[in-house]
Amino acid sequence: MKAFSALFFFFFSISLLLHSLSRSEEELPVGYGYRLRSSSTSSSGKYLTADLEIIQSSTIYGPDIPNLKFLASFESADRIRIRISDADRARWEVPETLIPRETPPYHRSMLEEDRGGSLFLSAPLSNLDLKLDGSTPFSFSISRRSSGEILFDTGGSLLVFKDRYLEISSWLPGDRANLYGLGEHTKRSFRLTANETMTMWNSDTWSSVVDQNLYGSHPFYMDVRSPAGDAHGVLLLNSNGMDVIYGGTYITYKVIGGILDLYFFAGPSPEDVMDQYTELVGRPAPMPYWSFGFHQCRWGYRNVEDLEEVVEGYEKAGIPLETMWSDIDYMDAFKDFTLDPQNYPIQRMKPFVDKLHFNGQKFVFILDPGISINTSYSTFQRAMEADIFLKRNGTNYEGEVWPGKVYFPDWFHPNTSTFWFREISAFLDLLPADGLWIDMNEIANFLNPAPVNDLDTPPYAINNAGVRRPINNRTVPVSCTHHGGTAEYDVHNLHGLLEAKSTHEALLKITGKRPFLLTRSTFVGSGRYAAHWTGDNTATWDDLAYSILGMLNFGLFGIPMVGADICGFSGDTTEELCRRWIQLGAFYPFSRNHAVNSSIRHELYLWDSVARSAKKALGLRYRLLPYYYTLMKEANSKGTPIARPLFFSFPEDAKTYGISTQFMIGKLVMVSPALQPAATYVNAYFPVGRWFNLFNLSETVVSPSGEYVRLESPEEEINVHVRGGSVLAMQDQAMTTRLGRKSGFELLVVFGSDGTAKGELFVDDGEAPEMGGEVGRWSLIKFTGEMDGNGAKLWSKVEGGRYALERKLVVKKVVFLGLDETSAVKTTAASVNGKEVSGGEGARVRFDGRGRFGIVEIEGLSQLMGEEFQLVLGG
């Protein structure tokens, strides 16, 4: 290992040198860098601090900051923080009010060991070690203790620290590192490819444009190292604009302000990394049960009658519809908290929403941040009285969006959240919506403001919009100031997070229920407050495929409730594309059809073949909603995504690392969509195990070592498989989640090759602010199945059973899959807790299409879910 590391480090140093020589605008003098002047450990042993001083100065990108403070802390067994800042004055950094960074209570004191000028630091029980290299220039590295493998190493690269330009690099083992994350960007593959630049600068950009910055900034990546599949995570917690350059054998951060605040997460499994990452940045907010239903929206619904016709169209077609949405059409001249008096009068809107609620359906409307400058507009009047707008040169900055001239709220102002709460509260009193949608919050601005000071033209131009456009392009100028004097330059990327936080808190306070909030612009930690959709895509086959990548990336960013506009937002979709898109979109965590006003209508009932596909795919989705909701509980507890890349469940299988066209729902269900026009089959990768088609239960794939399989993909069907070793709790198909929750449960027990199966079900009322918490408001049921030569068994263990008992939740059917022939033919009898199952015929036995595995169905049960039970097949 040491010989390999030394050889690789030599080639890495050469590649970094060549990389630096290729950047003529960044030539730094020979000998540039910082030296380690001194170091010390705090008396508590919690922190190590080191003083760094410049060796040789350079004026490229401005003068150097001569003295730096290096702080290292082992914050948990699986997390190390490295903070590099100006030693002589405070600089901007992400406020702890947004992302608290107190040392956790399970901190372990550091141990030091000096080895020939290098300082090695460790902590009892820590899974990571830290090395400070005292040679010139100064560098540091993070390694995994169990293997000694280096995860991050700045040796051989330059540390640059100026007022508005920071740079730090690490080498990577290019043949073994597999990086994911660093968004938000539309990419052609989920795994990062060499020579990509990921720019972090929130921008109002069409998401169909690849390789440029979009609506959110998440400077976090996960690295899965082959061949063992050990994963770790790295976060640079910095809200300033930056370019992150991935060169295959190195990664370089070029940041235009703030500090270098790095966090390293040890893993070693992908799920562990997500647990450790969201422990720091915040656990994903629980989403209400109804939000997992199907949603319909369009910018361009003409009036209330149009909304009513859409709801009626879904009902007549028999396609589930949970929620109707209103885009900016409902507003009076596009002003927030108003209704168009001609087309959306309150006298029509209120009965429409009341009818939705009567039918068990929901309503969501949009809000934009720009407040129209209109002295007769009461929301504007109250905002002016509270003086909560963003300033430039001492006066309210005037931008332009849909209402025309606008001012933008300053979310750092202490009065803004109160103002926002009161406006939302008053409007919900008028029109009782069930959730909110905040858009254009990058902040989008139709103007390109001219520079007024040097903040508007930083010395290093990030790769904004893929072409190094000015950072003021289509947004508010960075020379604007917030309450307390903070510059927009430093906080631009935080706007969506701050608005989401205030909106989430307002909804919680107003309703007392679990908020549903959808946001376009995001930052690290946004998942604590909101769901996300991938923005303004286009009705193309490329965008259909890109939607999977966006969904998987946001799972990594701690925002599991995510989806893309089904059938495409802009452009005219086709029947075939829309059909394939609903087949895929039915399995997004957040499933919504949405379109721009200039495109053709594409509600799912307008084409017969699309309607048939929607009924089939959404039918399965609604049956799986108990599973989706249980995954939401897992996400809320551990940060684990709902939709996951295959490597999450199979990190030791290197063939899964490059897969961008399939995904898992949790650990148990795999989706393999058709993503090309005129496709009649898909080549799907099946990791090792048994896999059963969830639509018919009879088509099976047995993969002894991981293999690609050609699957038929009829035009109105998608391939969805359940993994052997699973227990899925399912409900009946229904038109709404309210009806589905009344149907009782079917348990699908799918045996793996070892003859076992496991699964969980979490249930609560679907709207309490917390998932879990107060005893009596939730139940968690764990299922275990075993198969042997005499038949099979299924038993349950219950936590918090009172809730399930009070709601009289029952198991009405159990289906066993994957039984071998011996076990299946002996299952002529079945009993629950020793009592023979009634119904006359006992268990029904059949075999799959190839005759390999037995399928046993037991119907007519009424077993209370809140009581532990054992179901036995055979003698």
Q: Where would I find the H helices in 557-687?
A: 575-585, 608-623, 625-638, 646-649
Say how far apart CA 506 and CA 610 lie, in whole Å. 39
Say whether pLDDT at 724 is over 60.
Answer: yes
Claim to verify: residue 233 and residue 146 sit in the same structural domain? yes
Say whether pLDDT at 872 is over 80.
Answer: yes
Would you give the DSSP letter of residue 713? Answer: -
Mean pLDDT of 770-798: 94
Q: How confident is the model at residue 665 (pLDDT cuts 50, 70, 90)?
A: very high
Say how far apart CA 753 and CA 759 lie, in whole Å. 16
Q: Where is average pLDDT lowest: 185-199, 542-556, 734-748, 817-831?
A: 817-831
Contact present, 186 and 209 (Cβ < 8 Å): yes
Would you give the DSSP letter of residue 275? Answer: H
In a domain, residue 532? The reply is yes
Say whether pLDDT at 17 is over 80.
Answer: no
Contact present, 94 and 102 (Cβ < 8 Å): no
In a domain, residue 269? The reply is yes
In a domain, residue 591? The reply is yes
pLDDT tens figures, 459-488: 999 999 998 999 999 999 999 999 999 999
pLDDT tens figures, 103-150: 655 455 677 777 767 899 988 889 999 999 988 999 999 999 999 999
Q: How confident is the model at residue 27 (pLDDT cuts 50, 70, 90)?
A: confident
In a domain, residue 683? The reply is no
Decide if 442 is catalytic: yes
Q: Which of 78, 184, 439, 764 is catalytic?
A: 439
Strand 810-819 relative to strand 854-864: parallel, antiparallel, unpaired? antiparallel
Say how far apart CA 648 and CA 275 lie, in whole Å. 13
Claim to verify: residue 798 and residue 848 sit in the same structural domain? yes
Say how far apart CA 542 and CA 535 lie, in whole Å. 15
Query: Residue 749: which of 762, 758, 741 has the closest Cα?
Result: 758
In a domain, residue 727? The reply is no
Say whether pLDDT at 1 is over 60.
Answer: no
pLDDT at 26: 61
Decide if 223 is catalytic: no
pLDDT at 2: 35
Mean pLDDT of 813-828: 79
Mean pLDDT of 426-444: 98
Q: What percent of the chain has pLDDT over 90?
A: 86
Say whether pLDDT at 677 is over 70.
Answer: yes
Q: Is 394 left (phi over 0), alpha (psi -120 to 50) or beta?
A: left
Claim to verify: residue 274 and residue 128 sit in the same structural domain? yes
How many CB atoms within 10 Å of residue 504?
22
Claim to verify: residue 85 and residue 129 sit in the same structural domain? yes
Of 583, 610, 634, the last residue of a domain is 634
pLDDT tens figures, 235-270: 999 999 999 999 999 999 999 999 999 999 999 999
Average pLDDT of the chain, as a whole number: 93
Q: How confident is the model at residue 824 (pLDDT cuts 50, 70, 90)?
A: low
Claim to verify: residue 299 and residue 229 sit in the same structural domain? no
Say whether pLDDT at 102 is over 90.
Answer: no
Say how far apart CA 492 and CA 202 lie, in whole Å. 7
CATH assignment of the domain containing 324:
3.20.20.80
Claim to verify: residue 14 and residue 83 sit in the same structural domain? yes
Contact present, 145 and 49 (Cβ < 8 Å): no
pLDDT at 29: 87
For residues 233 and 859, the model is more confident at 233
pLDDT at 399: 98
pLDDT at 6: 40
pLDDT at 3: 38
Q: For the chain, what is the total number of helices (H) and then of strands (E)?
A: 16, 52
Say how far apart CA 310 and CA 570 lie, in whole Å. 19
Of 587, 608, 634, the last residue of a domain is 634
- Determine the structural domain holding residue 582 and report its residue range: 292-373+409-443+493-634
Q: Which of 499, 536, 603, 760 is catalytic?
A: 536
Q: How confident is the model at residue 843 (pLDDT cuts 50, 70, 90)?
A: low
pLDDT at 423: 98
Say whether pLDDT at 304 is over 50.
Answer: yes
SS3 string, 472-541, reads CCCCCCCCCECHHHCEHHHHHHHHHHHHHHHHHHHHHHHHCCCCCEEECCEECCHHHCCEEECCCCECCH
Q: How confident is the model at residue 513 (pLDDT cuts 50, 70, 90)?
A: very high
Claim to verify: residue 192 and residue 327 sit in the same structural domain? no
pLDDT tens figures, 44-81: 778 899 999 999 999 999 999 999 999 999 999 999 99
Name the one residue in this structure whose structure tokens are 């630096």: 20
Alpha-carbon distances of 75 from 240, 265, 280, 407, 610, rounded to whole Å: 24, 10, 10, 42, 52
Q: Where is average pLDDT lowest: 65-69, 521-525, 770-774, 850-854?
A: 850-854
Strand 531-533 relative to strand 562-563: parallel, antiparallel, unpaired? parallel
Mean pLDDT of 488-492: 98
CATH assignment of the domain containing 49:
2.60.40.1760
pLDDT at 732: 97
Claim to verify: residue 117 and residue 196 sit in the same structural domain? yes
In a domain, residue 348? The reply is yes
Claim to verify: residue 752 and residue 811 sit in the same structural domain? yes
pLDDT tens figures, 28-47: 888 899 999 999 888 777 88
pLDDT at 134: 85
Claim to verify: residue 190 and residue 304 sit in the same structural domain? no
Decide if 608 is catalytic: no
In a domain, residue 661? The reply is no
Q: Which of 75, 340, 434, 442 is catalytic?
A: 442
Claim to verify: residue 233 and residue 350 sit in the same structural domain? no
In a domain, residue 545? The reply is yes
| Number of domains the chain contains | 3
Which helix (H) or strand (E) covers residue 418, if one does? helix 416-430
Say how far apart CA 432 and CA 611 lie, in whole Å. 30
Claim to verify: residue 299 and residue 263 sit in the same structural domain? no
CATH assignment of the domain containing 790:
2.60.40.1180
Most distant CA pair in the chain: distance in Å?
Answer: 90
Of 580, 614, 634, the last residue of a domain is 634
The pTM score is 0.96
